[in-house]
Amino acid sequence: MRTEKEKMLAGEKYLNISDELAEDRRTNRLLVDEFNRVAREDPKQGSQIIKKMFKHTGEKVDIQSPFQCDYGYSVSVGENFFANYGCTFIDVGKITIGDNALLGPNVQIFSVNHPLDVKDRQAGYEYPADVTIGDNLWAGGGSIVVPGVTLGNNVIIAAGAVVTKSFGDNVLIGGNPARVIKKLK
């Protein structure tokens, strides 16, 4: 029989109240707290903590404190990754971001859904839903990417946008829910 963590990592319905997952969250929160303390004074040392926390990073990763995430081990970011102050990743499912990403302040990326059925929700069930983003993302401040979204290369998300569906390459998207504002070259 598989553990709840194994189910979560396989992208299946799982119970978030398992002791193993609670311990993973606690361990990661200690790293997040350390990052948020250290990164204010020593960004290079802060980047080293992020490299330990995330599944994969490029050589150059720059995240401004404060930053929050649940597990860390479900996050992969490419080369030249930058996230401004106050970004939050709820990384139950995988969060994968390509090279040359710029995230404005308070960008939020969520990769977990909760059941519509109230009994399942009260019992602590969740559903991972991966978020995959290509190269050259620019996400404006306060934008939100919800679970299950895939974005192509060269996507710009306008400040404050709520991205509820997937988009291909070379688009400026904005609004709530986000829609194509302009095709880019």
> Which positions are annotated as active-site residues?
114
SS (H, E, C) 82-129: EECCCEEEECCCCEEECCCCEECCCCEEECEECCCCHHHHHHCEEEEC
- Tally the residues of the chain: 185
Cα–Cα dist 93/73, whole Å: 10
Count of CB atoms situated within 10 Å of the CB of 9: 18
Q: Nearest CA to 45 among 142, 9, 37, 17? A: 37
Cα–Cα dist 133/95, whole Å: 8
Cα–Cα dist 1/4, whole Å: 10
